[in-house]
């Protein structure tokens, strides 16, 4: 342990790990970051599955996305931090007498341990049967599709950026199939500018598109989130129509 400095009878301690022979430098840094991350400790203390829960809490506190009675799909949900928050806020985790009861479905290739108010599916959301199955589980189209997924990194900044944008693009395609009119799409991207195709897709289909950077994102991290609200529904624009030529799409891009 190091970083000891007495102040008011307390010591501020920062954890340092001895490097194991088989531990890579990257995994060493990740472990140290986890041990010294206040959001990791807070997640344990407040019973959240992961520190990522605080990102969604902050975004929702600001934009009021999650409401009682809503239907929510969480893509790449494991270990379940975002699903956990959604279930609490739409009234699925602890239904109250007389209040609307929402539904939350989390889907991931990895197993998701049981959470109150969350139905978990272990499968690829890109499977042809996934949209229909998830809407059946929800009892109708989704009000919100959200994704905190991140593609495996290579260490090459440009390649990693393209991968995460590609992941966001397929998530948008999925959202088109399952969202109800007026719905919300929220997904992780990285700083450095999203691809024109991604932004054009969102401007075409949603009334307002903005970038959001929650305080819970790690210091120095390039991650941020794209938030699109007011889904217009499938077929909002004609096939091949340029979204910039549509008056509904003009002037609704907010960079924050």
Q: Which residues are annotated as a binding site for S-adenosyl-L-methionine?
A: 80, 82, 108, 124, 148
How far from the centroid of its chain's Cα atoms is residue 104's Cα? 14
Residue 26 neighbours by CB under 8 Å, 6+ apart: none
Q: Mark whether 22 is an active-site residue.
A: no
Residues in the annotated binding site: 80, 82, 108, 124, 148
**Of these residues, 29, 55, 64, 188, which one is catalytic?**
188
Residue 14's CB is within 10 A of a number of other CB atoms, namely 11
Nearest Cα residue to 150 out of 190, 122, 106? 190
Among the residues of the chain, which ranges form H helices?
25-35, 38-46, 53-63, 81-89, 130-138, 157-178, 196-205
Q: Is the Cβ–Cβ distance between 245 and 88 less than 8 Å?
A: no
Q: Is the Cβ–Cβ distance between 33 and 14 less than 8 Å?
A: no
55 φ/ψ angles, rounded to the nearest 5 degrees: -65, -45
CA torsion, ordered 75, 36, 220, 107, to nearest 10 deg: 0
N- to C-terminal Cα separation, the chain: 39
Paired residues of 101 in beta bridges? none
DSSP state of 6: E
**Strand pairing report for 253-254 and 206-212:** parallel
Catalytic residues: 188
């Amino acid at each position: 342990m190091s970083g000891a400095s007495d102040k008011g009878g307390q010591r501020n301690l920062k954890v340092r790990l001895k490097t194991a022979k088989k531990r890579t430098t990257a995994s060493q840094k990740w472990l140290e970051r986890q041990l010294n991350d206040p959001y990791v400790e807070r997640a344990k203390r407040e019973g959240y599955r992961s520190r990522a829960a605080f990102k969604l809490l902050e975004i929702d506190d600001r934009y009021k996305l999650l409401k009682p009675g809503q239907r929510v799909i969480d893509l790449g949900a494991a270990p379940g931090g975002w699903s956990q928050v959604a279930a609490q806020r739409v009234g699925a985790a602890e239904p109250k007498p007389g209040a609307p009861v929402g539904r939350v479905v989390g889907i991931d290739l990895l197993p998701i341990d049981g959470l109150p108010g969350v139905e978990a599916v272990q499968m690829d959301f890109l499977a042809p049967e996934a949209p229909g199955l998830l809407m059946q589980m929800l009892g109708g189209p989704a009000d919100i599709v959200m994704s905190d997924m991140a593609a495996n990194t290579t260490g090459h900044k440009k390649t990693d950026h393209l991968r995460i944008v590609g992941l966001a693009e397929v998530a948008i395609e999925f959202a088109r199939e399952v969202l109800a009119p007026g719905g919300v799409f929220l997904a992780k991207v990285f700083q450095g500018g999203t691809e024109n195709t991604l932004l054009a897709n969102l401007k075409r289909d949603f009334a307002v598109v903005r970038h959001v950077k929650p305080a819970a994102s790690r210091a120095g991290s390039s991650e941020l989130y794209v938030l699109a609200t007011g889904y217009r529904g499938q077929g909002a624009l004609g096939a091949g129509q340029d979204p910039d030529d549509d008056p509904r799409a003009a002037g609704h891009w907010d960079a924050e």
